[in-house]
Structure 1
Amino acid sequence: MQRGIESQGIPTSLITLDVEQSSLMRPPRAIHPVGFDFGHSLGKPHDKTTQTKVLVAALEELNQKQEPGNIHEAHFPTY
């Protein structure tokens, strides 16, 4: 889906917890929040501070020209 959106000139950024599977799809841009539990890719419920940090990190990826499939680790100390 990301490639289709990107082909229309709209940059995308994936937030993934399953790096192995996501790498196979070679997303244009992606971050991996290290240490997060499956089902909580933005952080724990009601943790607006961490959730905001994850979203900002994903949005910052939009400014970067990257090799598809390169997934950056993102560390959030409050999680």
Structure 2
Amino acid sequence: VLLSWFPNLDWSNPVLATVSSITDPYLNAFRGLIPPLGGLDLSAIIAFITLSLAQGLLGSLSASLPSGGLGF
């Protein structure tokens, strides 16, 4: 998110290129929904909210599963 606020960064830097290659596939799914407003990429906010909701949903599902049901 912070890196998107600095458009003049040198993306050929190996660290920035690695971070971008890891995060861009996920963020690109949301960039199609919300275009940049005034140069700010707000799609990352939706991506964080989606991850948080998924984490909460998976956490509540795992808590509701019976433990030790297979006898292990």
Q: Normalized against structure 2, the TM-score is what?
A: 0.28
The structure with more radius of gyration: 2
The structure that is helix-richer by fraction is: 2
